[in-house]
Structure 1
Amino acid sequence: TKLFWIFIVLMVCAGSSELAMAQWASAFAESALHVSKSVGDLAGSCGFAALMGLSRVLYGKFGEKVNLTTFMTASGILCLVCYLIAGLSKNPVLGLIGCAVSGFSVGIMWPGSISISSRILPKGGTALFALLALGGDLGGSLGPSIIGNVSQRAGDNLQMGVLSGIGFPIVLVICVLGVRRRYMTVSPR
């Protein structure tokens, strides 16, 4: 169905948003922000992972009190802001904050997409989850590839590559809002 393909796009964007920054954070911090490898790994990659985990823990603990589509929309907007900060900032501290906080923003995207799809397509079964995981994995390879290719075409400028990642959260937010408006008549939790 058309709705199934919207969920596939949602998963591709979730995987792209998450893994594009996760894969490139260390190299980005070192080459674009001119910080040492240790600082880049700790503040960029580790900060990203820790905040992504925190996001999932907080949603696991307080999720029943929060509207999932609202949280995903806010997370997509935060992700967009983080990609813009990292891609445009000349200040290494701001760039590292953008990398790290993007981890918090992407934490709910993948599990949230699966939760929304299982609610709207309750008869999807195992096949639905397998195909959604495939979509997420496709995004997980597509996102980092796009950032790498754009960086290479821009003269190995990883800041331009990271900036090119803004499309992932934009499309994700559009999909979430479209699904919410059209298919969700009751509060999604």
Structure 2
Amino acid sequence: MSGFIERVKISKVLLMQDMDLTEKFVGKSLDEIGSIPFKDILTSGPETCCNENRAESQAEVDAEHTSLECQAEVDAEHTSLDAPDGYGSMDEDDHTISNGDEEEFEGKRKRKPPPQKGCKRQKFTEVETEEIKTYFSEYLKSGICPRKQQVEDAKQKSRKKTGQIWKRSNDKIIKKISAMNHKKK
């Protein structure tokens, strides 16, 4: 199916949505809706327009409908069967109109979120926990968290004494101290 024909069918569906006619076409496929002329869709709509405007717009709709049908026939002749992916290839499940209660035209195909990359969570070892207790004992006693500069100083001391916490990031150390303070309460 060419892109133009598909767009014409989708425009009919959108027109039906705008005119609140989806209840009349529930369960019909996109191909069935595509065979319904624009004139039938417009005449089956709610009678909100005055008759004068309807007569003028009816002539415009007829002219547009005939030009669209001619163009659809021309496109049907020039359509190739081996269209590239994404152009003209749709499943039959995606062609039905759902009730107004469901999310409209989302279809059965939903995008899957990209696969999540593995979390690299590392538990603090006993050695690291003891090291935190020695370097941050005043913060653990008072129940407050150190600032970035105090963590940097403790990491420098740990590196000089061949400790372990210098390998951790500042925010992780601060979070660990905060968790230890909350556990203490």
What TM-score comes out, normalization by structure 2 length? 0.28
RCO higher in structure (CA 8 A, sep ≥6) = 1
Larger Cα-atom Rg? 2
By percentage of residues, which structure has more helix? 1
When normalised by structure 1's length, the TM-score is 0.28
